[in-house]
Amino acid sequence: MTTPLGIAVIGTGRMGADHVRRIQEVISGARVTAVVDVDAERAKAVAGRVDGCAVHTDPAAAMASAEVDAVLVASPGPAHEAALMAAFARGLPVLCEKPLTPDAASALRLVEAERALGGRRVQVGFMRRYDAEYVRLKALLETGQLGRPLMLHQRHRNVASASFFTSDMLITDSVSHEVDVTRWLTGQEITAVTVLRPTSSAGAPEGLIDPQFVVLETAGGALADVEIFVNCGFGYQVQAEVVCERGTARVGDGHDLVTAMAGRWGGSIAQDWTERFADAYDREVQAWVDATRRGEVTGPGIWDGYAAAAVCEAGVRSLREGGRVEVELAARPTFYG
Amino acid sequence: MTTPLGIAVIGTGRMGADHVRRIQEVISGARVTAVVDVDAERAKAVAGRVDGCAVHTDPAAAMASAEVDAVLVASPGPAHEAALMAAFARGLPVLCEKPLTPDAASALRLVEAERALGGRRVQVGFMRRYDAEYVRLKALLETGQLGRPLMLHQRHRNVASASFFTSDMLITDSVSHEVDVTRWLTGQEITAVTVLRPTSSAGAPEGLIDPQFVVLETAGGALADVEIFVNCGFGYQVQAEVVCERGTARVGDGHDLVTAMAGRWGGSIAQDWTERFADAYDREVQAWVDATRRGEVTGPGIWDGYAAAAVCEAGVRSLREGGRVEVELAARPTFYG
Amino acid sequence: MTTPLGIAVIGTGRMGADHVRRIQEVISGARVTAVVDVDAERAKAVAGRVDGCAVHTDPAAAMASAEVDAVLVASPGPAHEAALMAAFARGLPVLCEKPLTPDAASALRLVEAERALGGRRVQVGFMRRYDAEYVRLKALLETGQLGRPLMLHQRHRNVASASFFTSDMLITDSVSHEVDVTRWLTGQEITAVTVLRPTSSAGAPEGLIDPQFVVLETAGGALADVEIFVNCGFGYQVQAEVVCERGTARVGDGHDLVTAMAGRWGGSIAQDWTERFADAYDREVQAWVDATRRGEVTGPGIWDGYAAAAVCEAGVRSLREGGRVEVELAARPTFYG
Amino acid sequence: MTTPLGIAVIGTGRMGADHVRRIQEVISGARVTAVVDVDAERAKAVAGRVDGCAVHTDPAAAMASAEVDAVLVASPGPAHEAALMAAFARGLPVLCEKPLTPDAASALRLVEAERALGGRRVQVGFMRRYDAEYVRLKALLETGQLGRPLMLHQRHRNVASASFFTSDMLITDSVSHEVDVTRWLTGQEITAVTVLRPTSSAGAPEGLIDPQFVVLETAGGALADVEIFVNCGFGYQVQAEVVCERGTARVGDGHDLVTAMAGRWGGSIAQDWTERFADAYDREVQAWVDATRRGEVTGPGIWDGYAAAAVCEAGVRSLREGGRVEVELAARPTFYG
């Protein structure tokens, strides 16, 4: 395939519009040929910055165009299932933002639908797997020189949460990243979740349970703990330390520009994910474009999206009811390797 | 008091002998006037290196000497209670190595005995409180600029455990330090303990549950997690990160001598506590000598030793039986301030 | 301009071939329409991986094509002047790899030629200016919060030098980067150079003066020192610390993935520039494509290439003859702003 | 020798008073039996805090006492020669604060006087040699695993200089430490000095040449550069990086307590030498007491003090006259090993 990949971007909110920019201005080998949004005006505004880009309010209509070779889904989570089913009907490959769907049941329907197609169609947007530091961490673990992973300590801190953020969303929206990272780094499914509640910060909005401390158990006996603190006030920090049998490895300290002044040495802390993971998003989309043009599907897929949904559901139950909640996963189709 | 403080050191094993050396060769204002050990030969060997040092097998006999102004107890834990009671009978101040006693019930008897004396007599050997980094961490928390502590992440790693080390001892011998640190840094008692068991390392002796992951809850709602891993193989690491409402603070990275060679930058990791905490021991003993000569008792005391024992007992129960175990503390004598 | 920028790449050696890959596979908005090399077979091999890419042995012939909108010069330094003059004749914008030309006299002829054209045509390949850390360092200096820069300590270390590397090339090929960084960060021309010779490393090839220690003086009185050590054996390190009136700032420590094992903590060190500066090259080329499509020329230009050449000539004289050598610069055309 | 060492402290200014405190309250095995100061009131105030401590205005009178076994000289530099000669006459061992004497000629007279005594009597107060990080750096170099040292990059920064500080004193008072460190770490004498003058900081007092950049050449061909900046404003930093044939090693980053707050991670910087080198002073004095009681003299000696004086004289000449100044050393008595 030597012509650029024609992509329909579904959803033109903050994330969708940023992907349009990325495809047009950062990565090579692709162009945006259609944008879709229920808000036609918003879609038009985004399309207006792209040469020859069609505007639709219905995903299926966009996918019917001969100019559309692939679909990037960045609409709200509840709209994902329908968009993916439409893409499946057209045989189009998909990059779907996380979460795959809002709950495990709908995610499992997508697992079944993709299985019925006889091959993977979807890459899910767990972009940590494309971050340079995480990539090196994974590579190091795979060499085996540190031995088996026994524990995984993770910190996930945001400056402040959006006004609509709920206590459940600390699990479903934020910790879902660590859920995927834990599964990916250990190569094991998560079997139980316990959510603990330290006293909430005075810096958190009234009523929000923040921070939370989540303990994940894996099928192979590894233990992963996650501090999620979405109103930490001081910066955006994503850190992980894997404790293995013969050593540990840590990412996320971010020691690049170091200053000494006014009695302090140190560096600045990124203030949000667009700063911290810009390169990872670039790599993610590029990997998808490249694989698609080769006729392949790589990276995290529907099964990964489903597993994350199932773990997060268990996490929300633990948050609400207390105690340890076991995770029930459907049988993994051999299809996913 | 202008003459050096005369100290009887009870117990001349590794720790006791090191304290003798410290008093004689490192700190000022004190000298060892008696050593006590059930093993008379061992005691004689240690005394032989000190001018005018008496040798006893019975602590009470040593304490009867006019040359003994104070007592340092470094015998095995089960012998502590009797030694302290003997010192109380003589009115002698004591520095007692941790653990105060092997269980909460005996520790509580010492609380009662000290209360009956009408004033503190004992400093307990939680030497982390004298480590320069911990001292700075505590001082920073006390300024209040970080806000209340919400979470405390601690790592405690040893290269390898001694042959006699049991799974319970990871709690009672190792985590007992973090128990005291958690109480000291938060200024709160611990109310519940949960011990989790990740898969054990292939590097641990057959049958030893190692690593363990301990969750401590405090009366004020803070959550402290402790990774204890006594056969990590790579070094001795003691790290703590306090997560507060407006920021975090971390000690134990130990970035002093940094090298770059053979494709790697970094530093060495201490291999045991004698290397990491030598200065802290010096400061601890000196503080005790100085306070004693002023007629005061400062630093961690019997109540701290008792609280640690009670928490560790709950921890061992959680380790053995699973689940969360609440800590029952006796009423705190007003006496302890 | 909505169609991709058609680029002729002059020179298909290691650097030229990498730029072809970058334009085709990494960045957006451009494509390679022609490659040029005196070695026609090498050019053909590179062109064979690109759709519709012409092959030439004469730069001027490539530039005559309607498919060529811009020129990237990656041929050996002695061929640069002719290639740029040919591009000037055609009115084509150019990205020219460093060094601009091998000596100050030829660089000055290009300054004159560009001035005669009435506007900048050329961006020179000093890619440090596009490295994320250096960009942040420059931005920090421009805020003025650290005060004026007084000193600049730089380290430039390579694992091993190529067999053809001469003692002069430590200045002209390696330190030329620090020459540009010094000029860029201080905003001042360099007025004198002193090259000092510590004892050469046993790890350097027989006869190569390595390491060298270079002191640069700027027009504003800042002092920049550069350690250049091209056979350090342990890694590729590029570090800079700016010492200002109220503080310092440092880049290049590269603390990303940190491990603890076998008694050591630390991270790995990049082994060459392709690893360390891959993102910077991407940003550099993208910036050029974008500016070119807007009809602008930005970034380092011919004057910067000339100034670097003049400083390096002084440096080579200092290396050969000893002592401090003053730098003579032509008057700066107002044209360069 | 089992009784404490009786020490006469000559000079009771800031440094002398601090040594009195150290001997009495920190280290073991010694006591202050006499203090000497031309200002009798100041001496009395210091002696008043020490049991049985005599007060003198004449060093020789103090040394005549049977209670004085050794002498610590902390008076101003110009008074050192007479005090040491008096101690030599009495056969008393001496710990002499740096600088040994204010100039090379007087230092050389002391070399001669000590040689005439047939054995070392004096330890000079270059306390960096007792700092834990420097001790580890020296030990690492001695293993030989990094190969020969080729370059030594040193930074010496103070918050602000005292009002009486002159441009020469940046060399004689501050860089003299790096002069000794360079000699000690390389094991080589310094053969030439060049002092360069970057533009002075607006933060320096009017007329003070600050910062300065000093290049030291050693007999073995190593090159040591020193940034001395005594009005850097932000903290007290003493850093050293040794560049060897197979790697580098660095001390002084001081990464102990690390915080993350308000968009920054990092640590605090010591504000003066009493904070940074308190432990080193303790170790220094203790080492001297211990060696003295064994009848030995160890550590840096008169030859080291003389060599530092000679190098500093060359440095001051370079500062004043510009250019490189060769260092002329007397023949080293075999006596010094």
Q: What would the pLDDT profile of A110-150 be if each residue is shown by its tens digit?
A: 888 888 888 888 888 887 887 878 888 888 889 888 899 99
Distance CA D280, CA D132 (A): 7
The verdict on C321 and C265 lying in the same domain is yes
Nearest alpha-carbon partner for D126 in D329, D325, D311, D1: D311
The verdict on B119 and B167 lying in the same domain is no
Distance CA C8, CA C52 (A): 12
The verdict on D182 and D222 lying in the same domain is yes
Backbone angles phi, psi at A303, to 5 degrees: -60, -40
State the pLDDT at residue C148: 92
Give the ipTM.
0.83
Mean pLDDT, residues D8-20 taken together: 92
Q: How confident is the model at residue A266 (pLDDT cuts 50, 70, 90)?
A: low
The verdict on C328 and C266 lying in the same domain is yes
Mean pLDDT, residues C241-260 taken together: 75
Distance CA B95, CA B71 (A): 6
CA-only gyration radius of chain A, Å? 20
pLDDT of residue C335 exceeding 70 = no
Q: Does some domain include residue B337?
A: no
Residue of A27, A136, A262 lying closest to C257 (CB–CB) = A136
Nearest CA in chain B to C261: B234
Chain C contact set for D147 (CB, 8 A): 201-203
pLDDT of residue D47 exceeding 90 = yes
pLDDT of residue A190 exceeding 80 = yes
The shortest C-alpha distance from D337 to chain C (Å) reads: 25
CB contact under 8 A, D25 and B29: yes
The verdict on D269 and D158 lying in the same domain is yes
CA distances from C322 to A95, B306, C194, C196, C319 (A): 62, 73, 8, 8, 6
Map residue B120 onto helix, strand or coil: coil
State the pLDDT at residue D1: 43
Distance CA D267, CA D257 (A): 6
Q: Does some domain include residue A267?
A: yes
Q: Does some domain include residue A217?
A: yes
The verdict on A77 and A16 lying in the same domain is yes
How many contacts (CB atoms, under 8 Å) link B and D?
A: 98
The phi-psi region of residue D235 (left if phi > 0; otherwise alpha if psi is between -120 and 50; otherwise beta) is left
Look over chain C and give the mean of its residue pLDDT values, rounded to a whole number.
84
Neighbours of chain B (3+ CB pairs under 8 A): A, C, D
Chain C contact set for D234 (CB, 8 A): 246-248
Q: Does some domain include residue B58?
A: yes
Nearest CA in chain A to C253: A256
The verdict on A162 and A60 lying in the same domain is no
State the greatest distance between any 2 C-alpha atoms of chain C, in Å, as a whole number: 64
Under 8 Å between Cβ of C107 and C85: no
What percent of chain A clears pLDDT 70, i.e. is strictly above it?
Answer: 88
* Sign of the C-alpha dihedral computed for residues A250, A255, A261 and A262 taken in this order: negative
Mean pLDDT, residues C269-289 taken together: 64
CB contact under 8 A, D245 and C201: yes
State the pLDDT at residue A335: 63
Cα-based torsion angle of the residue sequence D34, D40, D41, D47 in order, rounded to the nearest 10 degrees? 0
The verdict on B81 and B63 lying in the same domain is yes
- How many Cα atoms sit within 13 Å of B140 on the Cβ side? 25
CB contact under 8 A, B269 and C254: no
Distance CA B296, CA A90 (A): 84
The verdict on A196 and A161 lying in the same domain is yes
pTM for the whole structure: 0.85
State the pLDDT at residue A1: 43
Of A92-106, A305-319, C52-66, the one with minimum mean pLDDT is A305-319
Chain C contact set for D198 (CB, 8 A): 150-151, 221-223
State the pLDDT at residue D34: 97
The verdict on A243 and A317 lying in the same domain is yes
Q: Does some domain include residue B336?
A: no
State the pLDDT at residue D66: 95
The shortest C-alpha distance from B63 to chain A (Å) reads: 48
Chain D contact set for B257 (CB, 8 A): 133, 136-137, 140, 249-251
Mean pLDDT, residues B195-206 taken together: 92
Q: For residue A293, what are the domain limits?
A: 5-128+279-306
State the pLDDT at residue D134: 84
Which residues on chain C place their C-beta less than 8 Å from a C-beta of chain B? 233-235, 237, 253-254, 258-269, 271
The shortest C-alpha distance from A24 to chain C (Å) reads: 7
Nearest alpha-carbon partner for A31 in A75, A61, A1, A60: A1
Question: What's D52's domain CATH number?
Answer: 3.40.50.720
> DSSP string spanning B251-273?
E---B-SEEEETTEEEEE---SH
How many structural domains are present in chain D? 2
Nearest CA in chain D to C221: D199
The shortest C-alpha distance from A61 to chain C (Å) reads: 26
Nearest alpha-carbon partner for B44 in B12, B8, B79: B12
Neighbours of chain D (3+ CB pairs under 8 A): A, B, C
State the pLDDT at residue B1: 43
Amino acid at D82: A
Residues B138-174 pLDDT 10s: 888 898 888 999 999 999 988 889 999 998 888 888 8
SS3 content of chain D, % helix, strand, coil (to 5): 40, 25, 35
Q: Does some domain include residue A324?
A: yes
Question: What's C202's domain CATH number?
Answer: 3.30.360.10
Order of strands, sheet of D122-124, starting from the edge strand that comes earlier in the sequence = D54-56, D30-36, D5-10, D70-73, D94-96, D122-124
Chain C contact set for D196 (CB, 8 A): 215, 223
The verdict on D256 and D295 lying in the same domain is no
Residues B12-56 pLDDT 10s: 998 899 889 888 888 888 899 999 999 999 999 999 999 999 999
Instruction: Return the structure tokens found at B224.
Output: 């402290």
Nearest CA in chain B to D259: B249
Which residues on chain B place their C-beta less than 8 Å from a C-beta of chain D? 2, 23-29, 51, 132-133, 136-137, 140, 145-146, 246-251, 253-262, 279, 286, 290
Distance CA B145, CA B153 (A): 19
What percent of chain D clears pLDDT 90, i.e. is strictly above it?
Answer: 33
Cα-based torsion angle of the residue sequence D91, D95, D98, D102 in order, rounded to the nearest 10 degrees? -10
Neighbours of chain C (3+ CB pairs under 8 A): A, B, D
Residues A74-89 pLDDT 10s: 999 899 999 999 999 9
Q: Does some domain include residue A134?
A: no
Chain A contact set for D233 (CB, 8 A): 261-262
Distance CA C245, CA C150 (A): 7
Residues C109-163 pLDDT 10s: 888 888 888 888 888 888 788 787 888 888 888 988 889 999 999 999 888 899 9
Distance CA C148, CA C150 (A): 6
Angle formed by the axes of helices D302-321 and D104-117, to 10°? Answer: 170
pLDDT of residue B280 exceeding 50 = yes
How many contacts (CB atoms, under 8 Å) link C and D?
A: 98
Residue of A155, A221, A243 lying closest to B227 (CB–CB) = A243
Which residues on chain C place their C-beta less than 8 Å from a C-beta of chain D? 147-148, 150-151, 153, 155, 196, 198-203, 211, 213, 215, 220-223, 225, 227, 229, 232-234, 243, 245-248
The verdict on D106 and D139 lying in the same domain is no
Residue of B150, B201, B232 lying closest to A211 (CB–CB) = B150
3-state secondary structure C273-294: HHHHCHHHHHHHHHHHHHHHHC
